[in-house]
Amino acid sequence: MSPDPDPFPPPLRIVVTVPPGQTVTVTGTPRAPCDIAEVAARVRACLDDIGIEGEAAAVYDDGVLSIDFSRHQVRRQGQPVSLTRKEFSLLALLAQQPGRLLTQSCLLRTLWGPTHEGDAHYLRILVGKLRQKLGDPRYILTEPGVGLRFLPR
């Protein structure tokens, strides 16, 4: 599996104003105003174009590690695992795309912003702490010089 050069494209920005009467004006589209069903269809089409299929699973659970993405909770063998926001964000990014290689620059840009794309040591430190807290380094595979991938059990 070859690395995806940028699995996290620039954020999609849709500005919506809703005047009385259920009509929605979508800024940046050729035809406005339009109805809410059309807006939803356009958003779904944009998500399809960038490769996001529906909503990600709300929970990952392999019997040992459990990640509740909506509650920001992680458990290992039933015991809570205390993670920082960055640690949880990294784990969620990886676990919601199991087996997919996420590049270092993409992860750095997503977690710390575009000014930190070259700061790979930030990622190495965060991954080390996360592996230690998870108690099993096999969940996060490092592809040296390229990126990381989550390996479910």
pLDDT at 30 over 50: no
104-126 pLDDT per residue, tens: 988 998 888 888 888 899 999 99
What strand order describes the sheet that includes 59-61? 59-61, 65-68, 73-76, 79-81
pLDDT at 23 over 90: no
- At 114 the pLDDT is 83
Report residue 65: phi and psi, to 5°.
-105, 130
> Who wins on pLDDT, 85 or 47?
85
Q: In this predicted structure, which of 53-57, 91-95, 133-137 has the lowest mean pLDDT?
A: 53-57
For residues 61 and 12, which has the higher predicted lDDT (pLDDT)? 61
pLDDT of residue 25: 44
Task: Find the helix or strand (DSSP H, E) in which 106 lies.
Answer: helix 104-112
Global pTM exceeds 0.75:
no
CA dist 3 and 42 (Å) reads: 28
Tokens of 121: 């040591």
Closest CA relative to residue 94, chosen from 34, 83, 36, 21: 83
